[in-house]
Amino acid sequence: MAKTIVPIGPYHPLQEEPEFFMLTVEGEKVVDIDVRVGYNHRGIEKLSEMKTFDQSTFVIERICGICSTSHPFAYTRAVEDVIPVEVPERAKYIRTIIAEGERIHSHLLWLGLAGHFLGYNTVYMWVWKLREEILDAMEILSGNRNNYAMFKPGGVRRDIKAEDIPDVLKKINSIVPTLEMLLKAIADDPVLHARTKGIGVLSKEEAINFSALGPTSRASGVARDVRRDSPYGAYDKVEWEMIVTENGDVFDKVVVRILEVLEAVKIMRQCLQNLPVGEIDLNIKDIPPGEGIGHIEAPRGETFHYVRSDGTNRPVRHKVRAPTFMNLPTYKATVVGETVSDATIILAAIDPCYCCTERMAVRNTKGKKLYNGEDLIKLSQRKTERLREKYKC
Amino acid sequence: MIYVLYFITYGFLLTVAIGLLTSWIDRKVTARVQYRVGPPILQPLIDIIKLLGKETLIPKGASKSTFLMAPVVGFASAILVSTILWVNNITSAHTYLGDLVVVIYLLTIPSISIIMGGFASRNPLASLGASREMKLILSYELPFVLAVLVPVIKSGFSLRLATILGYQLQNGAVATGLSGVLALIVAIFCIQAKLGLVPFDIPEAETEIVSGPLVEYSGPGLALYKLMKNMLLFILPFFLIIIFMGGLHFDAISIVKYVGLVALVTVIRNTNPRVRIDQAVRFFWGPMTFLAALAVALALTGR
């Protein structure tokens, strides 16, 4: 049968962000996939290196609108690792509350979009209505529905007022019954089963080999979660379950995310109720020379930040690795062999976030690529050499 | 000459008006179900008028005449079939028009015109959508024809719509019997697919293949397709009412019949995800064909 290329992207109603999936198909069957990102590269690491440590937090927050807590969280932890210091207890709890609020709204956003990709627009609208409650709660806590600007190296910027806590608790508790109803509805709907069960299976071995992260790996039976493996914030002080399922198909990824939202509600509730009193900020003045890493569990998986300081007030090097970067290659294992209809929901099932993941591509004015992968690696090695000579390490 | 009048007033104007109104009801109900406000009542009409004023772009390498003809063919057949249905509904005693085979044939043409347009536009997504539409037609036509056979058998093997209506006038609607109910259920699923609504909007699947066969259409061509779809939203339930429920009259019961059918279609559309094309084919050739065949067998034994 003749092979055709079905393009999904660079502009496509499937995703809001520009990305390009080149599906090679025989009839309806996908035989190969090529993913191209790089339509939205903003040079944010470089931008961050030109700001002071405090200002960088705001730049980093704007890497992604949805992970607007995960990136600052990982970044501040990396900066604190340079010194190294421990932030005050109260700040830890507040950070955890904000991070879990983000997980709830991010997973709900994905759940709605997954419904939309399956043509189930009622779920899409209902879930997004539900998400409004969480955004309202976050607005009470931080003053913003998104981009909370709560983080700074050494603590948090804003305190949580005691009189706000009952309102927030009411709002986050109100989503639980609807979510449980939704979970039952999904578990019972035969048409949804037909569309999601056994589709895009990522086996446990493949999940490990591709180093899949977050819900993508946990749906495949890999119990991997930074919150459990190397606890940060208040995660070791509250009760919560790591959600792991075995099948690795789209259905399991849906279930994992819904259950994680329920767990996140649990964590938020405990943190709000047991909020310790005390300082919220260390007021760090100087960052000594050195390097630090910060990694946290973002809604999509482990976000990793590396910060290097030379004793001035700016980071010399700031490196960001978003979870989607690790999850994208799993398409090779999940999409190939499925139909075009299923390809879209499988592509969406890892909850890809391209603006976190954007990588560089150099082209001349005629659109010809100037560097291939090997050239870029060589360039990068040369830059590392230069840095080594400059800083003698 | 009287048929020209029917053609213009009933077949075109009235059908378009009711079709646009139905489309608005469908959109409004969908919006309310989804916690949205929904469009104002004239929005479907405004959409069409706006599209009529836009530029027609013909993709490079497309078959120009087929690309431009396809929406006209589909639109014309929609008007024609609605004229036939109206003539039979109003003056069933005095007309020689109204052969059921012609009606079924004409009801297929809109889908075929979409396939023509899709393949003519020479876009991989459109081709994929057109081939899905083709598979969909192949899957739902068999149970649809079987379901339509039930009223034919009931009315003493008559293929004339007038006779079927006359039979129902004397003996009650076909859908009051067991075989009629079964056939109606099958037919409702089939018109869902004919209308291209969720769960059978596979050919147009916005998030998969970007509205499929219609992806290259713009301006008047797209307007004709939209208008055709809106008209079908009236024509297909109307057809089911004629052959299963004893026709439309200008009274309250008829409005209940019609709005009930449209509401059912809207509810199905809002409570299901889209199925895959192979699942749709399996659904229509498996349970639906079986149900339809059962209905035919029951009708033959007189139930």
Residue in the structure block whose two tokens are 């995310």: A257
B contacts of A341 (beta carbons < 8 Å): 202, 205, 208, 274, 276-277
Are A15 and A114 in contact, with CB atoms under 8 Å apart?
no
DSSP chain B: -HHHHHIIIIIIIIHHHHHHHHHHHHHHHHHHHTT-----TTHHHHHHHHHHTSPP---TTS-HHHHHHHHHHHHHHHHHHHHHHHHHHHSGGG-S--BHHHHHHHHHHHHHHHHHHHHHTT-HHHHHHHHHHHHHHHHHHHHHHHHHHHHHHHTTS--BHHHHHHHHHHH--GGGSHHHHHHHHHHHHHHHHHHT-TTS-TTT-HHHHTTGGGTT--HHHHHHHHHHHHHHHHHHHHHHHHHHH----SSHHHHHHHHHHHHHHHHHHHS-PPPPHHHHHHHIIIIIHHHHHHHHHHHHTT-
Of A4, A7, A344, Cβ closest to residue B207: A344
Contact between chains at B208 and A192 (C-beta distance less than 8 A): no
Contact between chains at B128 and A124 (C-beta distance less than 8 A): no
Are A154 and A80 in contact, with CB atoms under 8 Å apart?
yes
Contact between chains at A342 and B276 (C-beta distance less than 8 A): yes
Mean pLDDT per block of 10 residues along chain A (393 residues) reads 77 76 83 80 84 88 84 90 88 90 90 86 87 89 86 87 88 88 82 83 87 88 87 86 87 88 90 87 86 88 88 87 84 84 82 69 69 78 82 67
Domain of residue B143 covers: 2-300
CA B247/CA B258 separation, integer angstroms: 10
Of A27, A191, A340, Cβ closest to residue B275: A191
A contacts of B193 (beta carbons < 8 Å): none
DSSP A102-160: HHHHHHHHHHHHHHHHTT-HHHHHHHHHHHHHHHHHHHHHHS-SS----EETTEESSPP
Counting beta carbons within 10 angstroms of the beta carbon of residue A288, is it exposed (0 to 12), middle (13 to 18) or buried (19 or more)?
exposed
Contact between chains at A339 and B276 (C-beta distance less than 8 A): yes
Question: What per-residue string of b and e applies to B124-143 under the rule 16 or more CB within 10 Å gives b?
Answer: ebbbbbbbbbbbbbebbbbb
Contact between chains at A115 and B273 (C-beta distance less than 8 A): yes
Q: Is A185 on the interface with B (CB under 8 A)?
A: no
Does the pLDDT at position B209 exceed 70? yes
Count the neighbouring beta carbons within 10 Å of the beta carbon of residue A106.
28
Average pLDDT over residues B164-174: 79
SS3 state of residue A17: coil
Contact between chains at B202 and A341 (C-beta distance less than 8 A): yes
Confidence grade of residue B95 (pLDDT, cut at 50, 70, 90): low
Of A12, A118, A340, Cβ closest to residue B273: A118
Residue ranges covered by each domain of chain A: 44-330
Higher-confidence position of B191 and A363: B191
Are B67 and B219 in contact, with CB atoms under 8 Å apart?
no
Strands laid side by side in the A20-26 sheet: A3-8, A20-26, A29-36
Residue in the structure block whose two tokens are 């709907």: A189
Q: Is A197 on the interface with B (CB under 8 A)?
A: no
Residue A9: the pLDDT is: 74
Of A7, A123, A344, Cβ closest to residue B208: A344
Q: For the segment B83-93, what is each residue's pLDDT rounded down to a tens digit?
A: 888 888 777 66
- For domain A44-330, the CATH superfamily is Cytochrome-c3 Hydrogenase, chain B (1.10.645.10)
Residue A360: the pLDDT is: 63
Q: In this structure, is the dihedral angle defined by the CA atoms of residues B255, B258, B262 and B264, taken in order, positive or negative?
A: positive
Q: Is A16 on the interface with B (CB under 8 A)?
A: no
CA A250/CA A203 separation, integer angstroms: 12
Closest residue in B to A130 (Cα–Cα):
B35
Does the pLDDT at position B140 exceed 70? yes
CA B111/CA B136 separation, integer angstroms: 9
Contact between chains at A339 and B35 (C-beta distance less than 8 A): no
A contacts of B278 (beta carbons < 8 Å): 28, 339
Contact between chains at A14 and B208 (C-beta distance less than 8 A): yes
Residue B73: the pLDDT is: 92
User: Which residues of chain B are at the A interface, by a Cβ-Cβ cutoff of 8 Å?
Assistant: 30, 33-36, 124-125, 127-128, 131-132, 198-199, 201-202, 205-210, 270-279
Contact between chains at A195 and B275 (C-beta distance less than 8 A): yes
Confidence grade of residue B197 (pLDDT, cut at 50, 70, 90): confident
Q: For the segment B105-126, what is each residue's pLDDT rounded down to a tens digit?
A: 889 999 999 998 888 888 888 8
CA A303/CA A296 separation, integer angstroms: 6
Residue in the structure block whose two tokens are 């080594």: A388
List residues bridging with B190 in a β-sheet: none
Confidence grade of residue B7 (pLDDT, cut at 50, 70, 90): confident
Count the neighbouring beta carbons within 10 Å of the beta carbon of residue B108.
16
Kindly report the nearest CA distance between residue B125 and chain A, in angstroms. 7
B contacts of A344 (beta carbons < 8 Å): 207-208
Q: Is A124 on the interface with B (CB under 8 A)?
A: yes
Q: Is A232 on the interface with B (CB under 8 A)?
A: no
Confidence grade of residue B274 (pLDDT, cut at 50, 70, 90): confident
Of B128, B210, B274, Cβ closest to residue A119: B274
Counting beta carbons within 10 angstroms of the beta carbon of residue B254, is it exposed (0 to 12), middle (13 to 18) or buried (19 or more)?
middle
CA B190/CA B82 separation, integer angstroms: 18
Q: Is A342 on the interface with B (CB under 8 A)?
A: yes
Ramachandran sector of residue B298 (left: φ over 0; alpha: ψ -120 to 50; beta: rest): alpha
Identify the H or E element spanning A3: strand A3-8
- Residues, chain A: 393
Quote the tokens at residue B297. Answer: 């067998």
Q: DSSP H helical segments within chain A, as ranges?
A: 44-49, 53-61, 70-82, 89-117, 121-142, 165-188, 190-196, 204-209, 214-218, 226-229, 250-273, 323-327, 331-334, 340-349, 354-357, 373-391
Separation in Å, CA A60 to CA A71, A264, A322, A349 = 6, 23, 12, 25
Contact between chains at B125 and A344 (C-beta distance less than 8 A): no
Contact between chains at B199 and A119 (C-beta distance less than 8 A): yes
- Computed over every residue of chain B, the mean pLDDT equals 85
CA A276/CA A90 separation, integer angstroms: 5
Residue A357: the pLDDT is: 67
Quote the tokens at residue A375. Answer: 């050239």
Q: Is A190 on the interface with B (CB under 8 A)?
A: no
Provide the CB-side half-sphere exposure for B125 (13 A, CA). Answer: 18
Helical axes B15-33 vs B219-245, angle rounded to 10°? 90
C-alpha closest to that of B29 among B212, B259, B242: B259
Contact between chains at B124 and A28 (C-beta distance less than 8 A): no
Which of B30, B123, B200, B208 to mutate to probe the A interface, most A CBs <10 Å?
B208
